Amino acid sequence: MSNLVSVPKNGSLANNNSNQNFPTLSNWIDDIFNRDLPSVFTSNFNTGMTLPKVNIKETADAFIVEMAVPGLKKSDFNIDIDNQLLSISTETKDEHEAKDAHYTRREFGYSSFKRTFTLPESVDDDKINASYNEGILNILLPKKEEAKQKPARSIKIS
């Protein structure tokens, strides 16, 4: 008789079970799927570093790629072009030799990323250049002469 359910006057079922400290299976599953994923699943797994944000803008003469990558040196970057694919990557390791072997905690530092973009046919890949200043990697992708926007002009009628 302990499994009897009392029905209140409003008609809803009330559970008088005393196991309120234990979540039901459906509550446990809802809790897992209704919360945000931990940041370890939204970043590069062993780095804590997410993919850098990129701005790409087009001018009359070129495309400009701006990538926010603070804390690196220009020697950390690898920029390659292969069959109209522009690849930007980096891999850094933070290795410190510890003279004292009695440390309680030591964390290794490693970070890497690779971003790849398909270049338009209009880019003159022989004239691409890059610079790195104050945490921003800038890559200038000049357009071929025939692809550059020509200024507007008036045509006289003869």
Q: What is the model's pLDDT at position 107?
A: 65
Domain at 74, CATH number: 2.60.40.790
Is 76 part of a structural domain of the chain?
A: yes
Query: Given this model, what pLDDT does residue 45 score?
Result: 45
Residue tagged 């590069």 (tokens): 44
* 132 assigned to some structural domain: yes
- For the chain, what is the domain count? 1
**CA–CA distance, 27 with 31 (Å, rounded to integer):** 6
Measured CA to CA, the distance from residue 117 to residue 84 in angstroms comes to 8
Burial class (CB in 10 A: 0-12, 13-18, 19+), 65: buried
- pLDDT for the residue numbered 32: 58
What's the confidence (pLDDT) of residue 64? 95
0.85 exceeded by the pTM? no
What does the pLDDT read at residue 47? 44
Tell me, yes or no, whether 118 lies in a domain.
yes
- Which pLDDT value is given to residue 158? 86
* Per-residue model confidence (pLDDT) at position 91: 84
Q: What is the pLDDT of residues 52-89, one digit of tens each?
A: 999 999 998 999 999 999 988 889 999 999 989 999 99
> What pLDDT does residue 50 have?
72
Give the separation between CA 128 and CA 86, rounded to whole angstroms.
10
Q: Which residues of the chain have pLDDT under 70?
A: 1-49, 95-108
- Domain that includes residue 58, residue range: 45-95+109-147
Any domain includes 17: no
User: Edge-to-edge strand order for the sheet containing 136-142?
Assistant: 54-58, 62-68, 136-142, 129-133
